[in-house]
Amino acid sequence: MSALSQKSINLTLDQEHNVSRQSSIGKQYSEKAYRWNQENYSRQRRFIDIWRFVLTLITGLWLDGKPWSYRGGYTEQKHAYRRKTQAIWIRDTFLDLGPTFIKVGQLFSTRADLFPSEYVEELSKLQDRVPAFSYEQVEQIIQEDLGKPIKELFSGFDPIPLAAASLGQVHKAQLRSGEEVAIKVQRPGLKKLFTIDLQILKGIAYYFQNHPDWGRGRDWSGIYEECCRILWQEIDYLNEGRNADTFRRNFRNYDWVKVPRIYWRYTSSRVLTLEFLPGIKISSYEALEAAGLDRKLIARLGA
């Protein structure tokens, strides 16, 4: 444990705080994906995009069980290939549909009891690294939420984010008292996007719940309600800060766990300011070994 304490692995509460600068798994984002990357949204456009995906999926599922739909006849190998291809398409479409669906897909990746294994496997690969929104938007959100412009709140603020994800991005800054901090800023228009998408998803859940085959033995309405609860919690940075404080207190006597402090004076529902703690992602095996850390010890401590 002493070796681990000396090297000090810094654990973070949110994967978005520690997103690397690597490329996203899978496809590059298409231009159409950025219909959701804005401050104002068309409910009609979202309705069309989302239901087009659902109807295409339903058609694919229907064809899946029809032997005549397989060129040259049905085989188990062809069926497995089609299911895998379909799973990749679902993952890529979720990426194009944006934050709501990226998060829903990540939740669905834990539900092997509901979805085919191919779907679960592909959805588990969902990465929500997306292009950053503008520094001007960051300035506007911080001033609206904290009541002062960036230059009055901080002695230094890096306009280039350390990481950008579907729900927000993280900037490094320095308080006027000298402490280095990481500032997580929520993506503009996110609450409006969630409101529109979740209203549409409610109708989709109702459709599946009342379907004679897909509704049998499944509580789609309950799944929808659970998704709503989790998604709204995800974008409440005050709630995230409280959870971080609780986690920090619970592990204050463990010298091998370091949880960033929350600076509440600089925190709101859309802005979260934490102590800056650079660390190594737990799955970055080469980086852990390069730092001289014992991966087996880390695994035992984290078990």
User: What value does the mean pLDDT take over residues 253-264?
Assistant: 92
Per the structure block, which two tokens stand in for 185?
């800023």
Per the structure block, which two tokens stand in for 61?
């599922």
pLDDT of residue 296: 87
Q: How much of the chain, in percent, has pLDDT values that exceed 70?
A: 86
Residue 30 pLDDT level (bands cut at 50, 70, 90): low
Within-domain flag for 153? yes
Domain identity same for 157 and 241: yes
pLDDT for 4 beyond 90 = no
CA distance linking residue 36 with residue 23, whole number of Å: 20
Domain count of the fold of the chain: 2
How far from 262 is each of 43, 65, 141, 248, 279, CA to CA, in Å? 36, 53, 19, 10, 17
| Per-residue pLDDT reduced to its tens digit, 104-117 | 999 999 888 888 89
pLDDT for 2 beyond 60 = no
Answer with the residue of higher pLDDT: 130 or 226: 226
Domain identity same for 149 and 252: yes
Domain identity same for 181 and 193: no
| Per-residue pLDDT reduced to its tens digit, 194-234 | 999 999 999 999 999 998 887 788 899 999 999 999 999 99
Domain encompassing residue 118: 31-129+189-234
Domain identity same for 9 and 42: no
By three-state DSSP, how is residue 155 classified?
strand
Specify the pTM. Answer: 0.78
